[in-house]
Amino acid sequence: MPKQAVADFTLPATGGVDFKLYPIRSRSLVVYFYPKDSTPGCTTEAQQFRDLYPAYLKAGCEIVGISRDSIKSHENFKAKFTLPFALLSDADETVCNLFGVMKQKMMYGKQVRGIERSTFVLDQHGTIRKEWRGLKADGHAQEVLTFVQTL
C-alpha cells in the first residue's frame, strides 16, 4: 500500500475541546470510524479499544473514534462505557470524506448512506501506515494493537 500523508483536520471532541490532528505528531495514532454510538457492533469495538488502551499507550499510540453523531451523543456513549479516549463528531462528513469511509449500505432492507467501519493507523508524521475497511468489530482492536506494536 502506498504511504499517504493525511491532511490536517480539526473536529469537535468529547471533553469540550477541538481535536487537531497535527499536535498529536509525537506518537502514532489509531483513527477508527464507526457508524453509530451505542449500537451493538460499535459498543463492542469501543469496549475492546478501551480494554486494550493501556497497551496502546505503552506502544506510544493514541486512539480516537469518529462518527457523525453529536458531541452530546458521544459524551453519553463515552460515559456509559468509561471510554478513556476522545470521540470526535464529524456531522458534516468532512473527515469521513477525507478518509473515504462514506458508503452505500443495506440496513433493514433499505439502501442508506453511512460510515463503513474502518480503522487507520497513522505514524508520528501523519502518514497512513495501515488501513482496515469493512471490518468486523469483534477482535479488531487486538489486530490493530498487534500491528501498532510493530511500529
- Which residues form the catalytic set? 42
Return the half-sphere exposure (C-beta side, CA atoms, 13 A cut-off) of residue 85: 23
Whole-angstrom distance, CA of residue 47 vs CA of residue 25? 25
Phi, psi of 119 (to 5 degrees): -135, 140
Give the Cα separation of 119 and 99 in Å (integer): 10
Grid coordinates representing 12? Answer: 469537535
DSSP output for 110-124: EEEEEEPPEEEEE-T
